[in-house]
Amino acid sequence: MKVFSQSKYKLSQMHFGMRVMIVFFLLMILMGFGCGLILGIQKMGFSPSAIAQYYRGSGDDIAYPKSLLELLETAHFHFIGMPLVFLVVGHLAMMTSFSSKAIGRLIAIGFVGIFLNIMSPFLIRFLGAGFAYGVMVSVGLLCVAFVGLVGSVFWELKN
């Protein structure tokens, strides 16, 4: 952790083996992120009405509303896992030559996206279908932040 406190320490100065490990870590994280996107779209669709139906039910026997327990179970794992991924990727991005303000903004966008992504299902289920747009916005924010942070690390490592 002492390395992270040194503002002039950069990824490009790391030992080759460490850079290889970071590349493979980020590739695995990207695959996980991609699987999550595909899984979400396949399970609930990517239109406001499909998202609302997924959480609120369809009014017939085909799709039941999500229970509070189901929502809490998903939120629990996401409140732990998603911030950890952004913590690691954010630390790596802070070790690039990109502006700390730009990286800070991407990190902030990512955490807003995480919060919105976790809270939107509760809002959809218990307050109204109109909150389905929150899921779509959160996915956009997460994509911008994640691609920006991971891209900055890959850019630094290639130089």
Q: Is residue 7 part of a domain?
A: no
Give the tokens for residue 68.
């509070």
Q: What is the DSSP string of 94-128?
A: HTSSS-HHHHHHHHHHHHHHHHHHHHHHHHHHHT-
Residue 5 in any domain: the answer is no
pTM summary value: 0.88
Along the 159 residues of the chain, how does pLDDT read in single tens digits?
565 556 667 888 888 999 999 999 999 999 999 999 999 999 999 899 999 999 999 877 677 899 999 999 999 999 999 999 999 999 999 999 999 999 999 999 999 999 999 999 999 999 999 999 999 999 999 999 999 999 999 999 987
Per-residue model confidence (pLDDT) at position 62: 72
What is the rounded CA–CA span in Å between residue 15 and residue 139? 34
State residue 93's pLDDT score: 95
The pLDDT value given to residue 3: 58
Tell me what pLDDT residue 81 has: 94
Q: Is residue 54 part of a domain?
A: yes
Q: How far apart are alpha carbons 15 and 122 in whole angstroms?
A: 45
The whole domain housing 142 covers 12-158
| Residue 117: inside a domain | yes
Number of domains in the chain: 1
Position 3 in a domain: no
Identify whether 6 is part of a domain.
no
Can you tell me the distance from the alpha carbon of 158 to that of 52, in angstroms, rounded to the nearest whole number?
42
Whole-angstrom distance, CA of residue 37 vs CA of residue 16: 32
The predicted structure's pLDDT at residue 102: 96
What is the per-residue pLDDT for 63? 76
- Would 1 be classed as within a structural domain? no
Reference 86, options 120, 115, 122; nearest CA is 115
In a domain, 4, yes or no: no
